C-alpha cells in the first residue's frame, strides 16, 4: 500500500450522481448570480476569529524558532515534530499579500468538469489565480488557462510523480514544471502529517540547494493551520477530518480577493448527460488503486463541500462555475 499525505492507504468511497447531487447542480445552474461584497467581508471577519489567514498563507522567518516543537495534524495520527532544519532560510521575512487586495480571483480545482469547458480565457482574465497540487496546465490551456499566482504542492507529489528526484529525468520534469507557471507562490503544507516527513526534508534540502535558480518561485509554508480552520468550517456545518486543498484556497481567496470565481470544483462522475473523470488531467489518477471507478478520499467529504459551495454561490460569496464558459 502506498502512503501519501493522508498518511495511510487512502479509503475511497464511490460517489454517485444521485438525485440529491442532480438537484444541487440544478439549483446552481438556475440561480441568477450576483456578487455580494458585504457577504464576503463578513465571511472574512468570521474566519479571522478562528485563525490568522496570513499565517495560513505562510509562516515567516520570525515563526521559526529552532528546536521548537510543532504539532502535525493528520487524519489518523497526531504527532509532534521538531521544525525541520533548513526551513528558516526558505521562509519569507514578511507576510505575503498583507494589505493587498485583488478585484477578481479564479480558484481552480482539479475536477474533470473542466474538460472541454473552454474556461481558460475567463480564468486567466482574473487579477489573481489559485491552483492546486502542481496541476498540469500545459496541453489544457484552453480549458484551465495558465495564469498562476499561487499553486499548492502536497509533499507526496514528489514521491508520486517525481520519484523523489532520484533520477535525472524526474528532476528534469520537476524543474520544467517548476518554471512553467511563470512568477508565483508555491504553497507547501509541510505540517499536515508526519507520514511525509522524510519527503519534507528532501523538499527543504532541494530548495536550500536550488532556490536561487528559481527566481520565479516564492516559497510559502503554512504553519499548523488545519485544526483552527476545521473549527471555523465546523461552524459552517462542515465536519471533515480534513478540509480539501481547494477549500483551503477559498480561505486564502476570502482574505485577499474582492470577488471569487471557482472552477473545477465538482466531485461527481457525471454532469448532466456527460460522464467526467475525477481529474481533468486523468494521468494524475492514482494508478495503484484500480478498484474504484470514481472515488474520493473518505475523510474529504467533497460532496458536503459541494453543498457548501452551492450555499456560498447562492449567497453571492463565490461564483461556482459549472459546465461551459461563455
Ligand atoms: O489532493 P486533493 O484531493 O485535495 O486535490 P486534487 O484532487 O488535486 O484537487 C484539488 C481540489 O479540487 C480538491 O482539493 C477539491 O477541492 C477540488 N476537486 C473537486 O472539487 N472535485 C474533483 N473531482 C476534484 C477536485
The catalytic residue among 194, 261, 300, 313 is 300
Residues with CB under 6 A from ligand 1: 109-111, 132-133, 244-247, 264-267, 278-279, 300, 302
| Alpha carbon separation from 11 to 213, 261, 298, 300 (Å, rounded) | 39, 30, 5, 10
Of ligand 1's listed atoms, the one at least distance from the Cα of 109 is: 12
105-108 and 260-263 as β-strands: parallel, antiparallel, unpaired?
A: parallel
- 249 CA distance to ligand 1 middle (Å): 11
Complex ipTM more than 0.90, yes or no: yes
Q: Is 261 a catalytic residue?
A: no
Cα–Cα distance for residue pair 3/75, rounded to 1 Å: 13
Q: For 184, list phi and psi in degrees, rounded to 5.
A: -160, 175
> Closest Cα to residue 123, out of 150, 149, 146?
146
Ligand 1 center–CA 130 separation, angstroms: 13
* Ligand 1 midpoint to CA 66 (Å): 34
Return phi, psi of residue 66, to 5°: -55, 135
**Nearest of 199, 301, 294 to residue 242 by alpha carbon:** 301
**Residue of minimum CA distance from atom 3 in ligand 1:** 244
From 244, 247, 268, give the residue whose CB has the most ligand 1 atoms within 8 Å, as the site to mutate.
244
Which region holds residue 67: left if phi is over 0, alpha if psi is between -120 and 50, else beta?
left
The 8-class DSSP code of residue 83 comes to P
Distance 224 CA to ligand 1 centre (A): 21
Burial environment of residue 326 by CB neighbours within 10 A (0 to 12, 13 to 18, 19 or more): exposed
pLDDT digits (tens), the chain, 326 positions: 344 554 444 555 667 889 999 999 999 999 999 999 999 999 999 999 999 999 999 999 888 665 555 655 544 445 556 667 788 889 999 999 998 999 999 999 999 999 999 999 999 999 999 999 999 999 999 999 999 999 999 998 999 899 999 999 999 999 999 999 999 999 999 887 767 778 888 999 999 999 889 999 999 999 888 889 999 999 999 987 788 999 999 999 999 999 999 999 999 889 999 988 888 997 766 544 433 445 555 556 788 999 999 999 999 999 999 999 99
CA 236, 225, 129, 94 torsion-angle sign: positive
- Hey, what's the cell of 244? 480539501
Q: Provide the grid cell at 266.
A: 465538482
Amino acid at each position: 500500500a502506498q502512503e501519501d499525505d493522508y498518511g495511510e492507504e487512502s479509503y475511497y468511497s464511490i460517489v454517485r450522481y444521485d438525485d440529491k447531487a442532480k438537484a444541487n447542480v440544478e439549483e446552481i445552474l438556475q440561480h441568477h448570480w450576483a456578487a455580494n461584497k458585504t457577504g464576503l467581508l463578513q465571511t472574512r471577519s468570521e474566519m479571522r476569529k478562528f485563525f490568522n489567514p496570513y499565517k495560513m498563507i505562510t509562516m515567516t522567518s520570525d515563526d521559526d524558532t529552532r528546536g521548537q516543537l510543532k504539532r502535525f495534524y493528520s487524519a489518523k495520527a497526531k504527532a509532534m515534530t521538531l521544525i525541520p532544519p533548513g526551513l528558516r532560510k526558505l521562509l519569507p521575512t514578511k507576510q505575503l499579500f498583507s494589505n493587498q487586495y485583488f478585484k477578481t480571483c479564479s480558484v481552480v480545482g482539479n475536477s474533470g468538469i473542466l474538460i472541454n469547458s473552454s474556461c481558460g480565457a475567463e480564468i486567466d482574465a482574473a487579477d489573481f489565480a489559485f491552483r492546486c497540487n502542481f496541476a498540469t496546465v500545459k496541453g489544457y490551456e484552453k480549458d484551465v488557462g495558465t495564469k498562476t499566482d499561487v499553486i499548492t504542492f502536497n509533499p507526496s507529489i514528489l514521491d508520486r510523480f517525481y520519484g523523489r528526484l532520484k533520477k535525472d529525468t524526474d528532476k528534469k520534469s520537476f524543474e520544467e514544471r517548476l518554471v512553467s507557471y511563470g512568477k508565483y507562490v508555491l504553497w507547501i503544507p509541510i505540517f499536515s502529517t508526519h507520514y511525509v516527513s522524510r519527503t519534507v526534508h528532501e523538499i527543504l534540502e532541494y530548495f536550500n540547494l536550488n532556490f536561487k535558480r528559481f527566481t520565479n518561485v516564492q516559497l510559502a509554508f503554512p504553519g499548523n493551520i488545519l485544526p483552527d480552520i476545521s473549527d471555523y468550517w465546523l461552524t459552517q456545518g462542515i465536519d471533515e477530518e480534513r478540509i480539501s486543498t481547494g477549500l483551503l484556497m477559498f480561505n486564502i481567496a476570502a482574505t485577499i480577493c474582492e470577488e471569487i470565481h471557482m472552477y473545477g470544483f465538482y466531485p461527481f462522475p457525471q454532469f448532466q448527460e456527460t460522464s467526467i473523470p475525477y481529474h481533468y488531467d486523468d494521468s494524475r489518477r492514482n494508478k495503484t488503486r484500480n478498484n474504484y471507478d470514481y472515488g474520493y478520499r473518505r475523510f474529504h467529504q467533497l460532496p458536503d463541500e459541494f453543498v457548501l459551495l452551492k450555499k456560498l454561490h447562492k449567497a453571492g460569496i463565490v461564483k461556482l462555475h459549472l459546465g461551459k464558459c461563455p
